[in-house]
Each structure stands twice: as C-alpha cells, then as structure tokens.
Structure 1
Amino acid sequence: MSRAWLLVVLISSSVLLLAGCSGSSTQQLLDDYLTRVTRALEIDAIQPEARPTLPNWPSASQREVPLQGIRLGLLEAYGLRACPDLLTRVAERNNQLGRVMIPSQRFLYELRLASTLQSCVENPSTQVEAETLEELERLTQQVYRRLPAVFWNFLVSSDEMAGLFSLSGEGLSPDRHLPLSEQQTQLEYLLETARLLENQQRPSRYQDFERELRVFRDQAVVGQLLRAFTDANRYLQAVNHQLRQRLEGTLLCPRPTPELPRAQISQNVLLNVYIADVQPWFARLERKAQIWLPAINQLLDSPLAPSAIQEYRETWINPDNPETPWRRFQELNRQHAGYWEKLLQQCGLQPGLAD
C-alpha cells in the first residue's frame, strides 16, 4: 500500500468536515473497530487502557489576577468639573452596583473610563491647571496599563469560557450552533482584542463584547475535544499494538497473494470500517482542533497567566507540546497508517497506486 495514498486518506482532516459520533455511538464504533481488527488478524484480543482523569478548568481564585488600584487624587478636588463625562464615570464606579461589578461589566467600564480620560486630556476646551492635567495624563496611562489584566479576568471568569472547558457529555456532538468559519471569526476577534490592549489601544467594537463571547455558550468545545482525543488515543494505542504484534509474528500472507481470504478480510476492515466510519470522525476532530486549540492556547499564553493556567495550557492544549492529546493523536494516527501499509504489503495489496 502506498504510504502517500494511505496518509492522504487517514490524515487529510483539514479538508474534511463530516458528521460525527457522540456518546455511546462513539464508544460502540471504536469497540467495533478494535474487535474487527482482532478477528481479521487472528490474534488475541486486547482492551484499551482506562480513560485517564482529565483536568477541570481551574477555579476562579486560580485563574484571576489582582488588579492594581487607581487613586483619583487631585481629580476628585479639581479636575472633575472640567470633564463632566469623567464625573459620570466616577459616579458609576462609586455607586452600589459599581462596587460589585462582575468581570464583564468591569471590563466594559474600564474601556469606557479609558476612552473618557483620553478624550478629556486631548480636548482643547479642557481648562485645568497644569498639575491637574498631569494627573489626568497619569491616570489615563494607569488605566490603559491595567486594561490587559481587566480583560484577562473578564475572559477567564466568563461563564462562556468556563463552558468551553467543560467535561460534561460523552463526546463531540455534530455542530448545531455556529459554522466553524464563524467560530473562527469570533476567536480571531478575541485574539485581536488582546493584542490591541497589550499595545495600549482600545478595541473598536467593545460595546458588543459580551455578545461576542455569548456565541460560545454551551458548546464545551475544548473539553469535548480533550475527551474525544483521549478516547481516540486509547483505541489507537490498542489497535496499533495489535497491528505491531501481527507484524512481529508470522506473515499475514505466506505469499503476496491478494486473493487470500485473510488478505481480503483485512483490507475490508481497513476500507469498510476504518476509512468508511472511524476516519470521518477523526477528520472532524482534527478540523475542529485546528481552529480551536491554537487560538485558545494563544489567548491563554499571556504573561499575566497564573501558574494554574500555565500548567493547564502546557499540559493539555499547547500545540508545541508533543504529549498533549491532540499531538499524541496525530502521531498515533501516522503510526496507524504505517502499520496497515506494511501489513497489506505482505499480501501484495497496493491500493491507490493505479489511479
């Protein structure tokens, strides 16, 4: 079997987006594949390893960062009359609701405060003493400097972000919410916002920011991907062990004869079970992972990230770590292709060579 042909079939996931399996149907599909391989290769049955314990999204106290306080100083005494809008912002913060703002409200408030301060400083009609103007400029810089931390707390504390990492459910169900292209657009917007804030610039569409996150509600994409890849890896390890065991034993076919029943049965398992049923699900996982995991990894790869977030990101979703479930899946899938190629070559089977 041509390695190039088989690798195209097995890992051409970036262009495939097919309906997937979820829950018990996924388990049944993988169990059936393992059973069929065992029978076709006429070797002892093997059970996949138990599912490892997957991590929960860190608690609020582990993922949020403290915010540096800001004192209004001279503004409280002299500057507010020159900037009426700033007086409104200060009143918002000091009222009863302002003192108990949730992270999303706090982020939007800080963005409005930064905009108001900058307008006040840059407005030629602002008539204040030089000392007060310096205080306004200092305060503006302080607000801009801490915006990345306010954004971080908003992002990691939101129900939508916590929902993305939820481990509830049993698999990655078919897309019922947004097309992947739209999900990708929203992720890119979050990344662009983080970049702008790091450079002390304001996002242009911040009024709609809560709506931007709301599109991710109830999707649990990252948690489901981790669970799906973990299950796929367990079964790939088991099947690869079966294939390797057969390669190290007696030849599958004493002579390279494609007509032998054993050769035909093995080829049918590959084509009619793996490529027809299992691989489309794997392709869907791969496509979903390519959109979500690098983007989420980049969002969490911040100098502000507490140690719990850094550890979670590095261990489970960092694409540069070959031991994460996604990268491990890709390596096991490549091994899978190689083992099938070598086995069927023993029987003289070379599908894909004569196109």
Structure 2
Amino acid sequence: MTLKATIHSLLFVLLLTLTGCGYRSTPEYQLEEYESRISTVTEVSLPSPTISFPELPSLRKRQYPLPDIRLKALEALNLLECPKLTQLIAHRNNSLGKQMQPSQLLDYEKKLIVQLKDCIHYLQQQNKKPELRAKLETTLQQKESALPAAKWNMLLSNTELPGQLSGFQNLLPLQGDNGRQGTLEALKYLTSYLKGDRFSPPYDQQSLEMQLQQLTASHYSGQLLAAATAITNTLNRVSVMLENSHNICPQGRRTVTIERLNNVFRLFYVDSIQPYMSKVVSEGREWRSVMLSLLLELPAPPDKAMEDYLLAITDSDSDFSIWNQLDKAIIRHTQSWQTVLMQCQMQPGKKP
C-alpha cells in the first residue's frame, strides 16, 4: 500500500471513530442502547414501537379557503376622499400584491379593515355617498368575518411553524443550545401580534417577518415532540421486556442476571435517560402552555385531521396525546422495575 493510500485509510478510520463518539453523545444512542442491553440481559426480543410521531396534515387540511371579496365599490370612490384606502387596494392589485405570502396577506387584511373603517367614518361625517358607504360597510363586515381565517393561514398554512412541527429531524439534543428560547419568544410574540390591530414596532410587518424567521431557524418544537415520542417508545419497550422476563431471581435469590440488569438501569436510565426525560417533560409543559395561548387567538381548525393533530401535540389528557402517553409510559416503566426489584429482594432501602 502506498503512503497516500495508507494516509487515506487512517483518515477514514479516524472519521468513523469520531462519528461513533459523536453518536454516543446523542439521546438516540442512549435510548437505543438502553433497549438493546435490556433485551440482551432478559433474553426477550425487542418489541415493536407503541406509538408514532403524529403526522402533520397536508396543506389542504390545515388551510382555510379565503373568500374572494372584491372591492368594486371603490370604483365610485374619489382618490381624494379616502386616499390611504385606494392606495392600499392599488398595491394589492399590482403584480407583487397578487403574490402575497400568508403573513403579508394578514398584514394587508388588518390594514384594510382599519382603512375601511376610517373611510366609512369620513363619508358619514361629510354626509357623502350613502349608497357607497353602505357597500363599504358590507365589505367591512365580510372582511372582519374572514380575518380569523387569515390569522390561521398565517400560522399554519405558512412554512415557518409547520416546518418547526415536522417530525423529520433529530431528537432534542442532550445539552447545548436547542433553539428553545428563540422559539418560545417567537410564539409569544405571535400571540400578542394576533390580539389587536397594532401596526407600529414591534407589531409591524418587518418585525413579524423577523419572528417568523426565528421559527425557521430552529426545529425545536419538532425535536421536542420527537423526543417525547421516542422516550415513550423506549420506556414501553423496556416495560414489556421486564414484564415478559422469567427466572431473573428464582425463589427471590439474587442472580447475575439481576446484577447486570441493575447495572444497565443505573448506567443508562438513572445517569442519562432520566435527566433527559425530566428535561423533555419540563420543557414540554412550558411549550404546551405557550402553544395553547397562541391557539386561543385562532379559530377552530378547518379540518378534523388538523384538530386531532393539535390535540395530539398540545393536550395532556386525551388518550392519543403524546404527552398523556408519555406520562403513562413513565408510570408503567417505574412499576415494571419495582416489580422486578421486589422479586429479587432489591427494593430501595433493603439491605443485601
């Protein structure tokens, strides 16, 4: 082998080693290794996963169709009477205005409602064009009725928040910056943004786009949900293996098997998985609180599939909620270990 080939081989081995070391520090490795070692010691095959990551519904099922409300009444409106309103409509009808993103469209709709109110008030004060005023009032009612759908579309038919919620990513990292703070701040901002018709900073269009970009820069929400799902599967699989294991401690006598099981429990669950699980549970509670506050500012979901999805990721009581299933998995896992340890006379506080 030439010197160049030897160097390439050594670099390849080094790369594999570094990659392996990196993977060992991930929650994926800790969870998989815990399952694998329990399976080896108990001699019980690894069960199938019990739950799957909730799948975000298609765009068609998470988007409200917005009515096409034409402002034909403006044809009879003099530019000098309500200039801001006519300029706003003109911008909407140009080539750029026709390609507005959901966030831009919501900003436009909110501004349009304000200008419609101002124009109606002006015409009323001047006692001008009562027929036109009546048409504008009808248009205003239609726009106000459609505004909740525009708010929904800005959040859940846009790319930023759905991108955060996607399950096609790694689990929440064990340590370091995971995008949590930026995500929570962006979600809280959006909650405040949806509450009123304020247009000055920090509730102007530019600030809104910056907060949406903050969501795009991180996959925190999806990683948190994926972590809750993965932990649930691991705990349930370990519980099944413990429940189906036999002769670990015949007649209550301690064996090599229970000592090995106890080592796996301490080294993988107590030292690594339990702190990670506590982190996910704690952060999940805070994330759900922020998300639920945000969803209160929106109308009901446009489709049953979207309603079920939001319950699965934000609710803590329904049977198909991933947080409810995580709580149940934690209880089952604890009980399974307690049963095995009691059978082997190794319950906490008992002397050997």
TM tier, smaller: 0.7 to 0.9
Partner of 1:326: 323
Letter aligned with residue 97 of structure 2:
G
Structure 1 CA distance for aligned equivalents of residues 213 and 186 of structure 2 = 10
Alignment partners' CA distance in 2, 1:238 and 1:219: 30
Matches within 5 A, 1:27-106: 27-38=28-39, 43-49=42-48, 54=53, 56-78=55-77, 80-106=79-105
SS of equivalent residue, structure 1 residue 71? coil
Residue of structure 2 in register with 1:156 after alignment? 156
Note the alpha carbon deviations across 1:67-123, whole angstroms, 9 max, x for none.
123233444313643211112111111222212222221111112212222333446
Q: Which stretch of the first structure deviates more once superposed, 217-226 or 22-31?
A: 22-31
**Equivalent residues of 1:62, 1:309 under 8 A apart:** yes
Q: Give, in whole Å, the separation in 2 of the partners of 1:262 and 1:55.
A: 37
Q: Structure 1 residues 94 and 251, CA, compared in 2 at 3 Å: closer, same or farther?
A: closer
**Structure 1: runs of 5 or more not aligned:** 1-20
Q: Which residue of 2 aligns with 1:278?
A: 273
Q: Separation in 1 of the partners of 2:148 and 2:311?
A: 21
CA contact (8 A) 2:24 2:30 kept: no
RMSD over aligned CA atoms reads: 3.5
Distance 1:59 1:128, change over 3 A: farther
The CA distance in 2 between the partners of 1:55 and 1:316, in whole Å, is: 8
> What is the match of residue 303 of structure 1?
300
Superposed CA deviations along residues 322-342 of structure 1, whole A, max 9, x for unmatched, are 223332122111111122223
Change (3 A) 1:281 1:235: same
Please give the secondary structure, in 2, of the residue aligned with 1:45: coil
Hey, what's the Cα distance between the residues in 2 that align with 1:181 and 1:224?
Answer: 14
Q: Which position in structure 2 is the counterpart of 1:185?
A: 185
Query: Corresponding residue for 2:16?
Result: none
Question: One-letter code of the match for 2:219?
Answer: A
Give the counterpart letter for 2:230 in structure 1: D
Which structure's relative contact order is higher, taking Cα pairs within 8 Å and 6+ residues apart? Answer: 1
- The answer as to whether partners of 2:148 and 2:299 remain within 8 angstroms in 1 is no
- The structure-2 alpha-carbon separation of the partners of 1:349 and 1:52, relative to structure 1 and needing over 3 Å to count, comes to closer
1:280–1:191 distance in 2 versus 1, CA, 3 Å: same
Is the 1:256–1:345 contact (alpha carbons within 8 Å) kept by the matching residues of 2? Answer: no
Task: For 1:34, give the aligned amino acid.
Answer: E
Q: How many residues align?
A: 322
Task: Look up the match of 2:286.
Answer: 291
Secondary structure of 2:244's match?
A: helix
**Take 2:47 and 2:344, find their aligned partners in 1: how far apart are those partners?**
28
One-letter identity of the residue aligned with 2:147: L
Q: Distance in 2 between matches of 1:29 and 1:177?
A: 18
Counterpart Cα distance in 1 of 2:304 and 2:160: 21
8 Å contact kept, 1:56–1:165:
no
Write the distance in 2 (CA, Å) between the matches of 1:335 and 1:95.
61
Q: 2:47·2:240 contact (CA, 8 Å) conserved in 1? A: no
The residue number in structure 1 matching 2:215 is 216
Equivalent residue runs for 1:251-270 within 5 Å: 252=249, 254-255=251-252, 264-270=259-265
The whole-number CA distance in structure 2 between the counterparts of 1:39 and 1:68 is 60
Mark the CA change 1:177 to 1:241 in structure 2 (over 3 Å): closer, same or farther. closer
- The one-letter code of the counterpart of 1:289 is G
Deviation at 1:175, TM superposition (A): 5.3
Alignment map for 1:135-150 (pairs within 5 Å): 135-150=135-150
**Residues 308 and 206 of structure 1: CA distance in aligned 2, closer, same or farther (over 3 Å):** farther
Paired amino acid for 1:165: L
Change (3 A) 1:35 1:177: closer
Q: Report how far residue 240 of structure 1 moved.
A: 0.3
Please list every run of 5 or more consecutive structure 2 residues that lacks an aligned counterpart in the other structure: 1-21
| Correspondence for 1:337 among 334, 339, 343 | 334
Query: Following the alignment from structure 1 to structure 2, what is the Cα–Cα distance between the partners of residues 35 and 101?
Result: 51
List aligned pairs for 1:173-252, cutoff 5 A. 173=173, 174=175, 176=177, 178=179, 180-194=180-194, 196=195, 201-203=196-198, 205-207=203-205, 208-246=207-245, 249-250=246-247, 252=249
Q: How does 1:17-32 map to 2 (within 5 A)?
A: 25-32=26-33
